[in-house]
Amino acid sequence: SSDLGLALLLPWVRFGALGGLLETVLAAFAAAAVGLLAGALLDDRFWAPFTGDGPPRSARTVLVGGLVAGVVLLLVAAGVGHSGVQLPALLFVPPVGFALGACQVAARRAGRPAGAAPVRWLVGLAVFGPLALTDPEEISILLATTRDVPYWVAVASGVGFAVAVLLAVGYGVLLARPRGHAPRRLVAASGAAVLLLTVGVVDVAAGQPGLYGERLLVVLREQADLSGIPAGTPGRAGRDARTAEVYRRLVATAERTQGGLRRDLSRLGLDPTPYYLVNAIETDGGPAVRAWLSGRPEVARVLVSQRLRPLPAPAPVSRGDQPAPTGPEWNLRMIGADRVWSELSVTGSGVVVGSSDSGVDGTHPALAAGFRGGDDSWYDPWNHTRSPADSGGHGTHTAGSAVGRDGIGVAPGAQWVGCVNLDRNLGSPAHYLDCLQFMLAPFPAGGDPFTDGRPARAPDVLTNSWGCPPVEGCDPGALRPATAALEAAGILVVAAAGNTGPDCGSIVDPPAPYADVLTVGAVNRDRVVAEFSSRGPVAGGVVKPDLVAPGEGIRSAMPGGGYATLDGTSMATPQVAGVVALMWSANPALVGDLARTRSILRDTAQPAGPADLSCGPVTASSGAGLVDAYAAVRAARR
């Protein structure tokens, strides 16, 4: 029984990866409990009606008894953990019933009862695989991706099913035949030892050995005081002076308040990483460390900072299958961006847009010429790439809608800088902070954000087509100090409302609900708010979204030089960032004047179609009209 259980564990060792130490231990206890339950249900009393002497009784034990046992195991598997565990277990655990029937026949021929031990070992080892070697949070978030965790779970499940069926047939043939004999204990023990060694070899040689537990984000009580920062002169000079002062205060506060905690974490070998945009520290540590940190007087709260488990093979790069546009796309014509280029001769030159997303394909024909360049225009805290790249495609698409050339971007004359805060469609509070810090004060590759930041090189407007939900570790206030600091620095943060509509109050994941963020919803070709677009109001009764923009059927760039059409508020958001780039290009004195910029955008927005009956109409008067690039740029010049 243990050798069969180890065989069922093999595909999970090959295609999965362990989490932290505590969750692995808990998975082992849970698997043992499931095994005990199965053993109690499928003990000798269960098999008594099916067992007996002679070939007919042996066949009945294997076939009929195995079938009934499989139904019992199906019910047991249905109660195992998260759906990412249940579904695989439902596939490959029930066939084990036939092998258990064969074990019963072999035990009777040896003149002893089989007992519950074979069931406990076999079922416990079988369910340990998905329980320990799959992260259920990644399953729930990454369903839309290709060849990611759900794909490899399906592969492991399929291989596990094949192994279960083959071993069930093998046991049935070898142990249930008329002249068969029960294997000697030495042979069985040798087989189990070989399989255990095989599991270890597969893990080290072909799997992903090691523990990949989550990290913790420790948010300190004291945050930097950014009040009283002078506005300075209009335009970029004043903006740069404000950004430098904000950076100085943030770093000084972090250095003054983090020292003791950082030393303690370093002494414990917990690898602390400090942050200043939010006064916080990311560190290793499980529940015990979290409890200790939560009790320290300087700590406000401790969040879980999600960490991805490795895949057995890299996910393929997402590529587009559509040709390049032959002229301005329909969405650009709807908001009047093409008229801004042709009639007002404004394309966004002199303005820099910052993109935090899955990355950007810096070689794409529509984006290559717009990259700002230098040693401080690209940062990848996930994979540490040195030049702009993107495998997911989402970031290339959004960047293209903001600044892409060849008819896809609102501000094709603007430059862009990029940062990777999503890997395989998953983020964490710490990596979102990594990119927002980089946007406030870019630094060269390998540099220290605390000492090597260059606030004078900060981009002007940020496009953020992401949100940080609780499953990634964020609470409602996790990123609030970050957006407040960017606001104080004169850097406009544009963020997607989210795709959890049409319910009211569905704008919930930071940073979209924050008052200092320009939140964007989506409309379709008929100027009607898209069904998926999240609605307000948010906490405190603040009207959200601030604006809407085209977000259904948006064609833009994809990695590898191609193009694709995507839907979402993610697609609408960069268009509003592009409109801001056009406004500031037309009137550089507006750079950093966020209040005036927001006012122009809202005052010039056009009415959009109704959202739904419960949320009421979304109109310009409510602050959530359809952005009008042409009207906004003309107003900016006045």
Inform me whether the pLDDT recorded for 162 exceeds 70: yes
- Choice among 361, 570, 593, 628 that is catalytic: 570
Whether the pLDDT of residue 623 is over 60: the answer is no
pLDDT digits (tens, 9 = 90+) for 450-476: 999 999 999 999 999 999 999 899 999
Instruction: Pick the more confident residue, 184 or 627.
Output: 627
CB 581, CB 551: distance < 8 Å: no
d(CA 105, CA 611): 66
> Does position 372 have pLDDT exceeding 80, yes or no?
yes
pLDDT tens, residue by residue, 402-418 = 999 999 999 999 999 99
What's the whole-number average pLDDT of the chain? 89
Q: Is residue 265 part of a domain?
A: no
- CA pair distance 356, 536, nearest whole angstrom: 24
Which phi-psi region, left, alpha or beta, contains residue 328 (left: φ > 0; alpha: ψ -120 to 50)? Answer: beta
Of the candidates 394, 423, 460, 628, the residue annotated as catalytic is: 394
Residue 491's domain is classified under what CATH number?
3.40.50.200
Task: Please tell me the predicted confidence (pLDDT) of residue 619.
Answer: 46
Q: Summarize the confidence of residues 28-35 as an average pLDDT.
A: 94
Residue 622 has φ and ψ, to the nearest 5°, of -85, 0
Q: Which one, of 360, 394, 354, lies nearest residue 376 by Cα? A: 354
pLDDT band, very low/low/confident/very high, at 632 (cuts 50, 70, 90) = very high
Number of domains in the chain: 2
294 in catalytic set: no
Examine the fold and report which residue of 173, 205, 237 is the final residue of a domain before the chain moves on: 205
Domain membership flag for residue 406:
yes
Is 82 catalytic? The answer is no
Buried b (16+ CB within 10 A) or exposed e, 120-142: bbbbbbbbbbbbbbbbbbbbebb
Residue 501 corresponds to which tokens in the numbers above?
């509509």
* Contact status, residue 285 vs residue 307, Cβ threshold 8 Å: no
Q: Say if CB 51 and CB 108 are below 8 A apart.
A: yes
* pLDDT band at 112; cut points 50, 70, 90: confident
**Who has greater pLDDT, 609 or 532?**
532
- The whole-model pTM stands at 0.89
Res. 191 pLDDT band, cuts 50 70 90: low
Residue 317 located in a structural domain: no
Q: Please indicate, yes or no, if residue 323 is contained in any of the structural domains.
A: no
First to last CA, the chain: 81
d(CA 487, CA 237): 16
* Residue 473, both tokens: 């570790």
Question: What string of H, E and C letters represents the secondary structure of 578-614?
Answer: HHHHHHHHHCHHHCCCHHHHHHHHHHHCECCCCCECC
User: Among 178-187, 193-202, 210-219, 499-508, which is the least confidently predicted range?
Assistant: 178-187
- CA dist 74 and 92 (Å) reads 9
pLDDT at 129 over 70: yes
Across the range 235-245, mean pLDDT stands at: 95
540 located within any domain: yes
How confident is the model over 4-20, as a mean pLDDT? 88
Q: Which of 78-82, 85-89, 104-108, 263-267 has the lowest average pLDDT?
A: 104-108
E strand residue ranges, 256-311: 273-275, 280-283, 299-305
Confidence band of 237 (pLDDT split at 50, 70, 90): very high
**Spatial distance between the Cα atoms of 519 and 147, rounded to a whole number of angstroms:** 32
In a domain, 616, yes or no: yes
Q: What is the pLDDT of residue 173?
A: 58
In angstroms, rounded to a whole number, what is the distance separating the alpha carbons of residues 128 and 34? 9
E strands of 212-339, at which residues? 215-220, 273-275, 280-283, 299-305
pLDDT at 255 over 90: yes
Give 539's pLDDT tier (boundaries 50, 70, 90): confident
Q: What is the pLDDT of residues 565-589, one digit of tens each?
A: 999 999 999 999 999 999 999 999 9
More confident residue, 202 or 283: 283
Q: What is the pLDDT of residue 614?
A: 47
What residues pair up with 563 in beta bridges, in sequence order? 322, 557
**Using an 8 Å Cβ cutoff, are 40 and 116 in contact?**
yes
Q: What phi and psi, each to the nearest 5 degrees, are found at residue 17?
A: -155, 145
Q: Is the model's pLDDT at 633 over the cut of 60?
A: yes
Report if residue 267 sits inside a domain: no
Question: What percent of the chain has a predicted confidence (pLDDT) above 90?
Answer: 65
**357 assigned to active site:** yes
Q: Rounded to whole angstroms, how far apart are CA atoms 349 and 340? A: 13
User: pLDDT grade, residue 142 (50/70/90)?
Assistant: low
Which range (199-203, 450-454, 480-484, 614-618) has the least confidence?
614-618
Q: Residue 622: is its pLDDT beyond 50?
A: no
Residue 380 counted as domain residue: yes
- 310's tokens: 């490795």
Domain range for residue 394? 330-636
Q: Which of 190, 205, 220 is the last residue of a domain?
A: 205
Backbone dihedral region of 274: left (phi > 0), alpha (psi from -120 to 50 degrees) or beta? beta
Residue scoring higher pLDDT (487 or 93): 487
Given 357, 376, 423, 593, which residue is catalytic? 357
Give whichever of 43-47, 162-166, 197-201, 250-254 has the largest mean pLDDT: 250-254
Q: Are residues 195 and 337 in the same domain?
A: no
Whether 290 shows a pLDDT value over 50: the answer reads yes
Most trustworthy range by pLDDT among 145-154, 223-232, 340-349: 340-349
At 248, the pLDDT band (50, 70, 90 cuts) reads very high
Tell me the β-bridge partners of 464. Answer: 495
